[in-house]
Chains A and B, each alone.
Chain A
Amino acid sequence: MSLLGTFDVGTTGLVAQSLRLNLIASNVANAETAVSSDGQAYRARHVVFQSEARAGRIGQGVKVARIVESTAEPRMEYRPGHPLANPQGYITMPNVNPAEQMVDMVSASRAYQFNVEMMNTTKQLMLKTLDLGK
């Protein structure tokens, strides 16, 4: 039954989008982290989505193929008194771009809402199907 398959497709979307939101939260939270746990400045992380074909089904789900770190140049901030400053007086700040993160967040939350709405519609259709002939 294809309607049930829609729930599977929707679930993959919810999982993928919530992981994306999670990474955005991590990026925003670490936007001012000069030193992360590995001793380097934090780098923005992004998800890479990939469609996922399922055997014998017409609909394709989505999955997070991998998580990549942004290759953008880190931001150099002139803070001479800072304990982590280099001899020139600069500290390395994360390459998180707040505007980019905000746009990404809006996109992720919209996609999540679409998925929820889609599953609600499917639920209603299935309930109607149960009432068939009554």
Chain B
Amino acid sequence: MGYLYHLKHLTLVFFVVLTGWHAACEVSVKFDSFIGPNVNTVPQFDPLAFGETALKLRSLRHELLSSNLVNADTPNYKARDIDFQAVLMQRLSGQTGTAAVSLERTHPGHIPLASSMQSPQQKFRVGVQPSLDGNTVDPDIERGHFVKNAFFTEAALSFLGSTLRTRLSAITGQPS
């Protein structure tokens, strides 16, 4: 059981770091829903799948935040973001539940195509001091989110890397 115990805690640390939580109370609340009511159960998500999903979403958010920064001077542009934690849980539990990006059909005879691109639901950030031209991008806030997101992407990469190394050493029997 010792192994499972460590694994559980490792995954929790994983989760906390990747989703960017810092409040301890929030962690304890989510702990049950994440691990399950029985603390002796195996973690719900495979670290590899978890790392991959987190990394994908992180890089998606990276692009979204960079587009906010680029449009800091565009009239009527509204800053957008995704609810990372919600989308991550959604992806991990196998639901897409989001608006799919699909090809536009300009003729009734066109065959509808199921799109493989699922983009997470985007939300608009509430502007602290919106400007007169209708732009709600606050460069300081966006930069803060951007840097934080980059940092968590690095964390995700390093966790995923160490998982890979661990598995590799388990397969080859050689310490990596």
Q: Could you list which residues of chain A lie within 8 angstroms of chain B, going by C-beta atoms?
A: 1-3, 5-6, 9-10, 12-13, 16, 48-51, 56-62, 107, 110-111, 114-115, 118, 121-122, 124-125, 128-129, 131-134
Contact = CB atoms under 8 A, between A and B. Distances in A.
Contacts of A124: 150
Closest 7 CB pairs of A and B: A59-B67, A13-B70, A59-B63, A2-B59, A133-B164, A49-B74, A2-B63
A133 B165 CA distance: 6
Interface in B97-139: 101, 117, 119, 122, 139
B154 A128 contact: yes
B72 interface: yes
Nearest to A11: B70
B64 to A, nearest CB: 5
Nearest to B70: A13
A131 B161 CA distance: 8
B173 to A, nearest CB: 17
Contacts of A60: 67, 70-71, 77
Interface of B: 56, 59-60, 62-64, 66-67, 69-75, 77, 101, 117, 119, 122, 139, 143, 146-147, 150, 153-154, 157, 160-161, 164-165, 168
A111 B71 CA distance: 9
Give the most central of A12, A129, A131: most B CB within 10 Å. Answer: A129
Contacts of B168: 133
20 contacts: A5-B63, A9-B67, A13-B70, A49-B73, A56-B101, A56-B117, A57-B63, A58-B119, A59-B63, A59-B67, A60-B70, A62-B70, A114-B139, A118-B69, A118-B146, A121-B147, A128-B157, A131-B161, A132-B157, A132-B160
A26 B147 CA distance: 35
B161 to A, nearest CB: 5
A124 B75 CA distance: 31
A49 B161 contact: no
A122 B62 contact: yes
